[in-house]
Amino acid sequence: MKSAALTPDSLSPLREAASAKSRVADDMAMIRAAAELTRDLNAPNPWIYWADFLGFTILGYAGLFMALGAAQPFAVVGWAIVSIIGLYRAGLFIHELTHIKHSAVPGFRLAWNLLIGVPLLVPSFLYEGIHNLHHARTRYGTVEDPEYLPLALMKPWTVPLFVLVAALGPIALLVRFAVLTPLSAVIPPLRTLVVERFSGLIINPVFRRRPPEGDARRDWLFLETACSLWAIALLSAVAGGFIPLRDFLMFLGVLSGVVVLNQIRTLVAHLWENDGDVMSVTAQFLDSVNVPPPGVLPALWAPVGLRYHALHHLLPGLPYHALGEAHRRLSAALVPESTYHRASYDGLPGLVIRLMGNTAKGA
């Protein structure tokens, strides 16, 4: 992907470095070890999925309820933070929905959409059919990857803008489902635009989504209709005074907090140093990030296994609850000089500093 924020002359050293990284040959010893050492970890544990998801869903909604009823500012903020943490973790199970077979955890996809997807206006179809393209061998980091931007090669202001724009996410979703969905049902050109541009959780602005087919189309229309009815009912209730404006704004504020937190996690999920070239599996791994223990905070800002994001790109079919054990096995089995250890980082601050440093070089 050739960003409009870059110029060939001023950024040629950065482009050359990015191109060199994309040509990294596959470390077959690491890839074989990853496959062989984790064969017994591939089965999802339904009990873990249900307990984790339902527990944090209850925590998230309980925190929101308490925040709505609190009178003191510190109590409102405290409960809102609890709600954000709970709903954030529960919401991130959308990532697992795209990787596990639905039959492995029966009913989980339906429950997730009923409890999180529709109420928070992030139905699973916004991610299903999108995220798998990010893992495609020849798409990662290219113009056909919906979840990739060469942020490290762009202007410094793009990084804070990348995070700040996420705060408007809940408003954009309300417009998407309360306004664009019903209008697009009767205006075919608008429907094409909605499907291509406004029906995926993407960060690549030039990506265009294809219309769904078969069962995916049926599920999409069902969930989209449910979200549209919910969004219209919610706005109508606020306009009619049935829901106090304060409560509505609190709800939007919590959702904004969830989206911003996820955007910060996304900011450091990769190094974002590829400039559009097709990459080897190892190059993709090295452009991704693990933040393993002993750090504690990554468990909060990168939950549901996402603190092992590089390992996830190496073994995308591994359930989230097995990634920690897989990392321990690989770390113990592979020599210190192994490529595997080069994808591990200490934490969020160092990764942000690295990213900002690269954008400053470009400036």
List, for residues 239-275, the tens digit of each pLDDT value.
999 999 999 999 999 999 999 999 999 999 999 999 8
Within a domain: 126:
yes
Amino acid 1: pLDDT:
36
Within a domain: 297:
yes
Query: CB count, 10 Å around CB of 103?
Result: 6
DSSP state of 206: T
Query: CB count, 10 Å around CB of 39?
Result: 7
Within a domain: 80:
no
Q: Percent of the chain, pLDDT > 70?
A: 93
For the segment 63-120, what is each residue's pLDDT rounded down to a tens digit?
Answer: 999 999 999 999 999 999 999 999 999 999 999 999 999 999 999 999 999 999 999 9
Dihedral in degrees, nearest 10, Cα atoms 316, 322, 328, 330: -30
Cβ contact 6:283 at 8 Å: no
Query: What pTM was computed for the model?
Result: 0.93
Low-confidence ranges of the chain (pLDDT < 70): 1-22, 362-363
Amino acid 264: pLDDT:
96
197/199 Cα distance (integer angstroms):
6
159/264 Cα distance (integer angstroms):
10
Q: Number of folded domains in the chain?
A: 1
251/243 Cα distance (integer angstroms):
11
Query: CB count, 10 Å around CB of 13?
Result: 10
Within a domain: 114:
no
Burial of 175 (0-12, 13-18, 19+ CB in 10 A): middle
77/80 Cα distance (integer angstroms):
5
Within a domain: 71:
no
Amino acid 361: pLDDT:
82
- Choose among 147, 132, 268: nearest CA to 207: 147
Burial of 205 (0-12, 13-18, 19+ CB in 10 A): exposed
Query: CB count, 10 Å around CB of 188?
Result: 9
Say whether the peptide bond before residue 106 is cis (omega within 30 degrees of 0).
Answer: no
Q: 């910060």: which residue's tokens?
A: 264
Amino acid letter, residue 18: A
Amino acid 7: pLDDT:
40
Within a domain: 86:
no
CA 149, 95, 36 angle in degrees (round to 5)? 95
280/26 Cα distance (integer angstroms):
6
Amino acid letter, residue 241: G
Three-state DSSP string of 212-250: CCHHHHHHHHHHHHHHHHHHHHHHHHHHCCCCCHHHHHH
170: which residues sit within 8 A by CB, 6+ positions away?
Answer: 121, 252, 255, 256, 259
Q: For residue 101, how many C-alpha atoms fall within 13 Å in the half-sphere facing its CB?
A: 5
Domain hosting residue 28, numbered range: 7-43+121-363
Cβ contact 115:121 at 8 Å: no
Amino acid 115: pLDDT:
98
Within a domain: 21:
yes
Amino acid 24: pLDDT:
85
Within a domain: 141:
yes
Which residue blocks in the chain are alpha helix, DSSP H?
Answer: 12-22, 28-37, 46-69, 73-91, 93-97, 108-112, 131-134, 158-164, 169-175, 181-184, 188-197, 214-239, 245-267, 281-286, 298-301, 309-314, 323-333, 348-362
The two structure tokens encoding residue 188: 């075919």
91/57 Cα distance (integer angstroms):
8
69/244 Cα distance (integer angstroms):
12
